[in-house]
Structure 1
Amino acid sequence: MTTVLVVDDDRPLLRALRISLTAAGYDVTVAPDGTTALTAAGKNPPDVAIVDLGLPDMDGITVVEGLRGWTGAPIIVLSARHTEQAKINALDAGADDYVTKPFGMGELLARIRAALRRTAPAGQEPVVVTDAFTIDLSTKQVTTPAGPVRLTPTEWNLLEILARSPGVLITQRQLLQEVWGPRYETETNYLRVYVANLRRKLEPDPARPRYLRTEAGIGYRFTP
């Protein structure tokens, strides 16, 4: 399981991030200050770190530098500091990305996935195998016993998000934000159409889907 270290002194936000990231399938470690974060990272090296800049015991830049000194794991800064110089300082210290508060959970999850993809060894992306089809996340190809399946870019993006979190319920809003953008987060008809297309192409019995499951009124779940 991918491990995420979250460093923030805002206790309610820290708790919300732990709940949301755990629900998305990550193993989450939280730290309310820099000292705790660096100690926790030393004991259990994270696959990705999310670091606030305004910490009570040290500047978040120091945490970024401390982590970057020994790990190549992606570091995402999550901060209320909006100035260009703050972003430059964080990136120069070794951060890979910078997200300003307030932020959407869907955007943060997408940035985590993007950061992990960038650090994955070439050709080592996972292959998801089901009884009916195979998804190669490295080559972005789907095959069935009958041969390759042609998917549109939108169909692939939707399938990839679901396949990267097997068994996890992905909300309608999150899927709409990540595939179509924030302005489309209420266009649930888009999801119905494209999920129906994927089922038609992949499910042995589209009327009784086994792999692309609907949680009525909430979202969708991929069950390999």
Structure 2
Amino acid sequence: MPLSLAVLVSGGGSNLQALIDRIEQGVLDAEIKLVVANKPDAYGLIRARKNGIPTKVVVHSDFPSRGDFDREVLRAIEAHQAEAVILAGFMRILSPGFVQAFHRRMLNIHPALLPSFPGAHGQRDAADYGVRISGCTVHFVDEIMDHGPVVIQAAVPAEPGEGGDALAARILKLEHRIFPQAVQWLAEGRLITEDRHVRLTPAKRPPADLSDLGVCLVNPPLEQGF
């Protein structure tokens, strides 16, 4: 059976679209049961509706506390019987109770090589710092922002003075590849967590073609279809 997902978004939802595309291509063994946004104008909602995916808007400012907001989101997810939660550009910190409800069943994508440059502006912060290598990280979500065990990372060269927007555009291409792959590994039950270390159990699959991405490093390696 496909892994049933709830995807949380705050903005454009390009990583949501990457998941939708891989599902439609038949390489991601998942079904998106619900897309939740904390902003009514999030373009991710339009992407979901175009693909016939149920949506729910839960505006965080309508609730007196973070816990109340999280409980409303959790009720919506449970009503749609989602087994895992995917944070695709969701710009809210979730409460410990919410995190524990989906322990090791919630993934986030961050546009920097964690633990460096956590927070909302990872690409800009990396560019401003003058790093020579940057990238993105998919990790399990825990109670601390951008902190949970790392599932997969991808790295690209960072050019002096190119600025956060240019670096972000190159990183985004990698996000769209590694995030669906990580969700597929989760769906297959191949992610084994030991303390902070995530081990990927082996599968006999050929590697993905990364020639369209230019110079990059991805670990663990992407598999065919991703």
> What TM-score comes out, normalization by structure 1 length?
0.42
> What TM-score comes out, normalization by structure 2 length?
0.42
Q: If you compute each CA radius of gyration, which structure gives the higher value, 1 or 2?
A: 1
Higher RCO structure, 1 or 2 (CA under 8 Å, sep 6+):
2
Identify the structure with the greater helix proportion.
Answer: 1
